């Protein structure tokens, strides 16, 4: 049978699976299987050559039982509504597992940022906000960065929203530059949260990270900083890393500063002196201790999961491991830590940013990281405790199933209390 790779069908399958294990109320499941709101917009954008190009954009608010929608905006040439729905569902589980007062949302625009200049990107960012002004806002649905969106893009979007709102509303969007209300520590918070999880998981698995070999797929908001922090904070040896064009491998280990400087010049990590080029697919199958998929969804599937050689998979991207692959990794005894735990650092520090914006009181980087560590470590411990609880009842569940059970239970309880079913 051909494996289902539609991201939203995958998200529903994961939910159904958890619902069956925890015997979730059928009425709650019916609400949770579909997003609360899906908006598609047509966005005319003035381009640098004077013509107007029309882009398609989306904003999905999946569930807001626990608080306003929350989630990033992706600018991607292959964006589609199914992916945005899946990502919004995963945001719902992410905020619930972290136990922060938000629901889940996500946005996207079909566009290729590599072919656009700053003028066009600014126009697109502002037009996106104008098109969706009715459904987003600090108390409705709070956007943030994601694949190919940056603090600068958040700044333009905030400015546009403020013009429409007629006042200062910094809490409308997170991931802003610190100069205009961004939080200290937000820029590398996704990676930082993931590295705290890696530290906790290594301790549990009795893996010495100072001797560990790590491969990272992706060099964006998540992968790039994971590379740096894995080296400096954990003392691990990053032997392979890739970007969208391909990757490099070095038995001796890679140097973050030198490789990032080279990528700035050439646009890719490939071809760096003293390293061997590897494809994005081959990188996943390297014989390493820790594999970190940090790019996009559907990277480890039923097709290649049995060729994964890592002892641990740390899902820093959203949706990199499919349900078929999940089973194979579990049977192989590979510890696969789920995306909505591993990459929750981004939205957790986004929450801190929103709190700081709303209160007007700003925190130091040190205090942001400490609070972040506290939250992700609690999520990790909750997940392990849930696995233990089921094991004692005679049922072995995966880390993903355990995390789902916690998150879904929290959202279902909130809906019940509000009288949704």
3-state secondary structure of 52: strand
Is 64 an interacting residue with respect to ligand GLU (CB under 6 A)? no
CA distance 122 to 396: 50
Phi, psi angle pair for 227, to nearest 5° = -55, -50
CA distance 383 to 30: 24
Of the candidates 112, 200, 127, which has an alpha carbon nearest to the alpha carbon of residue 382?
200
Of the candidates 188, 184, 132, 183, which has an alpha carbon nearest to the alpha carbon of residue 157?
132
Residue 271: CB minimum distance to ligand GLU, A: 30
Is 293 an interacting residue with respect to ligand GLU (CB under 6 A)? no
Residues in 173-192 at the binding interface with ligand GLU, rule: CB under 6 A? 174-175
Is 315 an interacting residue with respect to ligand GLU (CB under 6 A)? no
| Site map 222..261 versus ligand GLU, x via CB under 6 A | ----------------------------------------
The single residue among 72, 193, 218, 247 that binds ligand GLU, judged by CB under 6 A, is: 72
The single residue among 70, 213, 263, 400 that binds ligand GLU, judged by CB under 6 A, is: 70
Q: List the catalytic residues.
A: 106
CB 59 within 8 A of CB 47: no
- 185 or 302: CB nearest ligand GLU: 185
Tell me 3's DSSP state. P
CA distance 104 to 132: 16
Q: How many residues bind ligand GLU (CB under 6 A)?
A: 13
CB 69 within 8 A of CB 142: yes
The single residue among 14, 127, 270, 343 that binds ligand GLU, judged by CB under 6 A, is: 343
Task: Give the torsion through C-alpha atoms of 90, 91, 92, 97, to 10 deg.
Answer: 90
Token match 């003293």: residue? 274
CA distance 299 to 295: 9
3-state secondary structure of 365: helix
* Window contacting ligand GLU (CB under 6 A); options: 1-9, 77-85, 155-163, 342-350: 342-350
**What residue is closest to ligand GLU based on CB?**
72
Of the candidates 58, 60, 57, 63, which has an alpha carbon nearest to the alpha carbon of residue 15?
63
* Window contacting ligand GLU (CB under 6 A); options: 251-259, 343-351, 366-374, 384-392: 343-351
The single residue among 71, 108, 182, 223 that binds ligand GLU, judged by CB under 6 A, is: 71
User: Distances from the Cα of 11 to the Cαs of 34, 227, 284, 321, in angstroms?
Assistant: 10, 28, 22, 11
- 71 or 185: CB nearest ligand GLU: 71
* Window contacting ligand GLU (CB under 6 A); options: 195-203, 330-338, 339-347, 363-371: 339-347
- 137 or 346: CB nearest ligand GLU: 346
Which DSSP helix (H) or strand (E) runs through 217? strand 213-217
* Window contacting ligand GLU (CB under 6 A); options: 66-74, 361-369, 377-385, 395-403: 66-74
CB 280 within 8 A of CB 217: yes
Residue 343: CB minimum distance to ligand GLU, A: 6
Residues in 73-132 at the binding interface with ligand GLU, rule: CB under 6 A? 94
Residue 351: CB minimum distance to ligand GLU, A: 8
Is 144 an interacting residue with respect to ligand GLU (CB under 6 A)? yes
Is 347 an interacting residue with respect to ligand GLU (CB under 6 A)? yes
Residue 106: CB minimum distance to ligand GLU, A: 8
Q: DSSP assignment of 351-363, as one string? A: HHHHHHHHHT---
CA distance 48 to 369: 41
Report the phi/psi class of residue 148: left, alpha or beta, with left for phi > 0 and alpha for psi in -120 to 50: left
- 174 or 268: CB nearest ligand GLU: 174
* Window contacting ligand GLU (CB under 6 A); options: 109-117, 150-158, 344-352, 361-369: 344-352
Residue 392: CB minimum distance to ligand GLU, A: 32
Where on the chain is the footprint of ligand GLU (CB under 6 A)? 70-72, 94, 144, 146, 174-175, 318, 343, 346-347, 350
């Amino acid at each position: 049978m051909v494996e289902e790779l539609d991201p939203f069908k995958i998200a529903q399958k994961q939910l159904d699976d958890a619902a069956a294990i925890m015997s979730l109320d059928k009425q709650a499941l019916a609400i949770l299987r579909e997003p609360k709101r899906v908006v598609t917009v047509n966005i005319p954008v003035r381009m640098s050559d004077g013509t107007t190009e029309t882009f398609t954009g989306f904003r999905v608010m999946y569930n807001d039982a626990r608080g306003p929608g929350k989630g990033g905006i992706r600018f991607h040439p292959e964006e589609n509504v199914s992916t945005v729905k899946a990502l919004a569902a995963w945001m719902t589980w992410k905020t619930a597992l972290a136990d922060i007062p938000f629901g889940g949302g996500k946005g996207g625009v079909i566009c290729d940022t590599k072919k656009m200049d700053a003028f066009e990107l600014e126009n697109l960012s502002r037009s996106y906000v104008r098109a969706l002004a009715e459904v987003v806002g600090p108390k409705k649905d709070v956007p943030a960065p994601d694949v190919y969106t940056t603090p600068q893009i958040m700044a333009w979007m905030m400015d546009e929203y403020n013009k429409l709102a007629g006042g200062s509303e910094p809490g409308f969007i997170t991931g802003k530059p610190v100069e205009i209300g961004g939080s200290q520590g937000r820029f590398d918070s996704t990676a930082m949260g993931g590295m705290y999880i890696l530290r906790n998981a290594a301790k549990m698995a009795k893996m010495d990270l100072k001797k560990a070999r790590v491969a990272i797929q992706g060099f964006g908001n998540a992968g790039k900083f994971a590379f740096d922090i894995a080296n400096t904070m954990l003392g691990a040896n990053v032997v392979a890393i890739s970007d969208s064009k391909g990757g490099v491998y070095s038995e001796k280990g890679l140097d973050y500063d030198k490789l990032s400087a080279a990528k700035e010049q050439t646009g890719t990590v490939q071809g760096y002196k003293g390293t061997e080029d590897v494809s994005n697919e081959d990188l996943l199958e390297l014989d390493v201790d820790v594999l970190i998929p940090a790019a996009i969804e559907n990277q480890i599937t039923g097709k290649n999961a049995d060729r994964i050689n890592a002892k641990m998979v740390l899902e820093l991207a959203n949706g990199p491991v499919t349900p078929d692959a999940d089973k194979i990794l579990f049977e192989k005894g590979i510890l696969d830590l789920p995306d909505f735990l591993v990459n929750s650092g981004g939205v957790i520090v986004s929450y801190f940013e929103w709190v700081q914006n709303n209160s007007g009181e700003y925190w130091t980087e040190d205090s942001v990281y400490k609070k972040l560590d506290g939250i992700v470590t609690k999520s990790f411990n909750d997940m392990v405790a849930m696995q233990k609880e089921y094991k004692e009842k005679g049922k072995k569940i995966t880390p993903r199933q355990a995390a789902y059970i916690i998150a879904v239970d929290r959202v279902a309880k909130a809906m019940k209390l509000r009288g949704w079913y």
